[in-house]
Amino acid sequence: MIAGLLVAGAAWAWVALAGGRVATGSAVVASALTLFVLWFFRDPVPVLPPDAGLVVAPGQGRVIEIVEVEEPTFLEARARRISIFLSVFDVHVQRAPVSGEVEHREYMPGKYLVAWKEKASEENERASLGITTPHGRVLVKQIAGLVARRIITDPVVGDSVERGQRIGLIRFGSRVDLCVPLHWEVTCATGDRVRVGVTPLARLPVAVEA
């Protein structure tokens, strides 16, 4: 996709050199679109917090909800769900919130409701990744939004992931849910702006050596 836009932008730039307002205007639009897509798919390297006991944000955006829910697919218990809304201006790469082994991976087709609605967690197109740690299980949900049409999840069952490792991508507006055990301390609040792989959302129940 990015390569195609770069080729198209170069082609329009060449056409613009031939002259004409229409060609020049088209070249400007094509170049702006190319730059936006390149910026949208940026993948900054996170600076992990030094405390290895902190659970980092799997997505970048604003925390829109922290609620207690029943999580039957992987945690198989009541859990704390932390929901992050990603606007089109946020980084859309997802990263592992904890280190552990992937023991669950599932894709579910669905609707494309606006991602900040609570129903989006259960009704929208989504992919789930369950990670087992020595301190319990966590579930990361990549949820499509109103304009998202493709979810990419990189790890497969049996893979080991490290905290902060890239695990996937959602194209355009979307939502990321993190479900953690109820006894884990939540360190964020509704309304917080969080950075993927950087901002702590919770803390493991026991001290962990860095």
Joined together, the tokens standing for residue 23 give: 């060609």
Q: What is the distance between the alpha carbons of residues 47 and 175, in angstroms, rounded to a whole number?
A: 22
Q: What is the rounded end-to-end Cα distance, in angstroms, of the chain?
A: 39
Torsion-angle region of residue 45: left (phi > 0), alpha (psi -120 to 50) or beta? beta
Return the active site residues.
Answer: 174
The number of beta carbons lying within 10 Å of the beta carbon of residue 74 is 21
The answer to whether the CB of 78 falls within 8 A of the CB of 162 is no
For residue 199, give both structure tokens.
Answer: 């901002």
In 3-state terms, what secondary structure has residue 73?
A: coil
Q: Is 137 helix (H, G, I), strand (E, B) or coil?
A: strand
Opening angle at CA 52, ends 155 and 199, nearest 5: 75
Q: Scan for tokens 């829109």, then name that residue.
A: 64
Task: Tell me which residue of 153, 38, 139 sits closest to 93, measured CA to CA.
Answer: 153
Place of tokens 């980092």: 56
